[in-house]
Amino acid sequence: MLVKCESGEIAGTVKFFSKKNGFGFIVTNKGDIYIGKEVGQKYESQLKEGAMVMVSYQRENRGLTATTITFPWYRGAVKFFNDDKGYGFVVCAELKKDVFLHVIPAKRVGITPEADMEVEVLVAVDADNRYSATEVRLPKVVTKQVGRPRRKPVSDRESASVH
């Protein structure tokens, strides 16, 4: 009998992961994907219930099984942050939802959130479909090297002027 090999990558949300038992599941629109012990141990500190992930999978005897998991960072801007209450919200265009930001993830990395500040967040979704940042960081800045254009080597200039 010919068995079709299925594999791919898909977005999902961590349903649960048991560090004690070394397994869990990710909910996707293809159904639940099993997180086995080997893959789970690599990512166990990040496999929090509700965490949004990208998961590579393959079909095995018992169903879809995770082969690698990545945790996407979403870029946004702080909508507002109330220092007295210790929370605020980040607007992430890609998610089309505001993301709750508590002061603890920000303090962990030394960030004091302010309105309009650009940030990147890892996001978890709760049972009521509310988004919250589990980690926050400042975006990486890509700088361009500014300077004069490089001159052609002398041999190239000489051969061009000979013609």
What pLDDT, in 10s, does the model give residues 28-53? 999 999 999 999 989 888 899 999 99
| d(C-alpha 113, C-alpha 11), whole Å | 28
Domains and CATH numbers, the chain: 7-70 (2.40.50.140), 74-137 (2.40.50.140)
pLDDT at 155: 53
Is the pLDDT at 60 greater than 50, yes or no? yes
Q: What is the mean pLDDT of residues 53-67?
A: 93
CA dist 49 → 15, 46, 78, 117 (Å): 6, 9, 24, 28
Residue 4 has what pLDDT? Answer: 55
- Asked whether the beta carbons of 4 and 60 are under 8 A apart, the reply is no
Q: How far apart are CA 46 and CA 69, in angstroms?
A: 10
Residue 1: helix, strand or coil by DSSP? coil
7-18 vs 87-92, strand pairing mode: unpaired
Q: Which tokens belong to 161?
A: 């002027």
- Tell me the average pLDDT of the chain: 87
CB atoms within 10 A of CB 57: 25
pLDDT in tens, 121-140: 999 998 788 999 999 999 98
DSSP notation for 92-127: ETTTTEEEEEEHHHHHHTT----TT-EEEEEEEE-T
**pLDDT tens, position by position, 11-34:** 999 999 999 998 999 999 999 999
Cα–Cα distances in Å, from 153 out to 24, 141, 146, 149, 150? 60, 33, 20, 12, 9
- Residue type, position 61, single letter: N
Q: Which of 81, 91, 141 is nearest to 112 (CA)?
A: 81
